Amino acid sequence: MDSRGVVITGLGVVSPIGNDVAEFMESLKSGKPGVRYIPELEELKFSCCIAGVPQDFAQIREKYFTDREASVMTEATAYAAVAALEAWKDAGLEIPNEDSPVDWDTGAIIGTGIGDMETIAQRIVPMVNDKKVRRMGSRIVEQVMNSGASAKVSGLLGLGAQATANSSACSTGTEAVAEAVWKIRAGLAKRMVVGGTEGPSPYTWSGFDAMKVLPRKFNDRPETASRPMSATAAGFVPGAGAGILILEDEQTALARGARIYAKVAGVHVNCGGQRNGGSMTAPNNQGVRRCIHGALQDAGVQAKDVDSISGHLTATFADPIEVQNWAKALGVAPGDFPLINSVKSMTGHCLGAAGAVESIAAALELHHGFLHPSINCEDIHPEIAPFEEKVVRKYTDYPELQCLAKASFGFGDVNSCLVFTKWNA
């Protein structure tokens, strides 16, 4: 690894609070909730009948793909493809045609948490059981393989450095950014198209409903259901969407005069090993703190330099534990704790896409000098009460914002942390 810097030059998003970056940012600023009642879930006898799902996406998709092209893409792949094309153009890059040469200097890492359960449940299982395998068609495999989104994007953009998918539960999107940073630092790519995507499906969400980790008491008021850091938090709201970032070698970006949103100064990924209290569904606190330490060390940043935290913060029992882990990792008392907020309070939990969507929010905050509110936490959890003054509950202008840390944690006791710093030319 060399010391070359990695910067963010393009952003693209499809989310419950906006299907492009401009709409997404305005929703962040205004604290707009994106969680809605989903009639299908009630029909299927789910206890949780709400979710955060991109709205009116079909209209957006029509701008990019014909009906025939769209028909062979799952929602997860379509989300990622639209977000990637937006990010590519946002970076000031030209969309290539089918006859353009391969871009050997650019690759894609686009992960997903669970993959396309919808196609498996609605098409593959019924057709196999009905002995109609020969009628499934020749495009079925590309629709269900976890690398379907990265493969589609690499084909649209002619990418030759890499086309792969990672999958680490709710840490997926954040980990994809880290892996891309390592790729660029190693000199194996000049540019990477990275992020995560997750489609909306009751088949994906059913297991979480069965685990009783989704909120059951807010079906009649969905906009108030996602409550990170709240005393009345009742579980995470399932969500869907995609977030794509264009990461670029700093010198390459400068040479072409690219607009730079922020620098990815430090990254770290680890696993708690499901020891010392860690399990398939709970974190080893030592692993969490080591991950935060590792990202800060990689960035060359002191704990006192962190201005703000974009938390994982899912509205579960883990929220107070997470805040305490941040405090212990940074070695600070509540009065010196950085400001903290949660994108999930508006979007719900987009699973494999969450870390990427939240990284886009972080880049926008640094570039434009603001912090978005965490909504629905007017009743701070008693174990978080000492940090109450540090919870951002209304839009805040913050032009002096210089350093923002973002972490994600997931099933399997997996952790990833990124340190973003403001680009100061």
Please provide the DSSP assignment of 47-99 as one string: S--EEE--SSHHHHHHTT--HHHHHTS-HHHHHHHHHHHHHHHHTTPPPP-TT
Select which of 48, 271, 291, 312 is catalytic: 312
The confidence score (pLDDT) of residue 35 equals 98
Select which of 48, 49, 170, 271 is catalytic: 170
Q: Is the dihedral of CA 140, 143, 148, 153 positive or negative?
A: positive
For 323, the token pair is 């805040």
pTM over the 0.85 mark: yes
- Whether 368 is a known active-site residue: answer no
Select which of 48, 49, 268, 349 is catalytic: 349
Burial of 382 (0-12, 13-18, 19+ CB in 10 A): exposed
Burial of 395 (0-12, 13-18, 19+ CB in 10 A): middle
Query: Strand, helix or coil at 170?
Result: strand
- Spatial separation of the C-alpha atoms in residues 148 and 199, rounded to whole Å: 12
In 196-239, which residue ranges form alpha helices assigned H by DSSP?
A: 202-210
Number of other CB atoms surrounding residue 99 within 10 Å: 6
Domain 267-422, second-level architecture:
3-Layer(aba) Sandwich (3.40)
For 321, the token pair is 């534990």
pLDDT tens across 55-83, in order? 999 999 999 999 999 989 999 999 999 99
- Whether 349 is a known active-site residue: answer yes
The confidence score (pLDDT) of residue 3 equals 58
- Terminus-to-terminus CA distance in the chain, angstroms? 24
CATH number for 6-255 (one of 3.40.47.10, 3.40.640.10, 1.10.3720.10, 3.30.420.40): it is: 3.40.47.10
The confidence score (pLDDT) of residue 1 equals 47
The residues of the chain scoring below 50 in pLDDT are 1
The confidence score (pLDDT) of residue 2 equals 52
Where do you find CATH 3.40.47.10 in the chain? 6-255, 267-422
Element holding 192 (H helix, E strand): strand 191-198
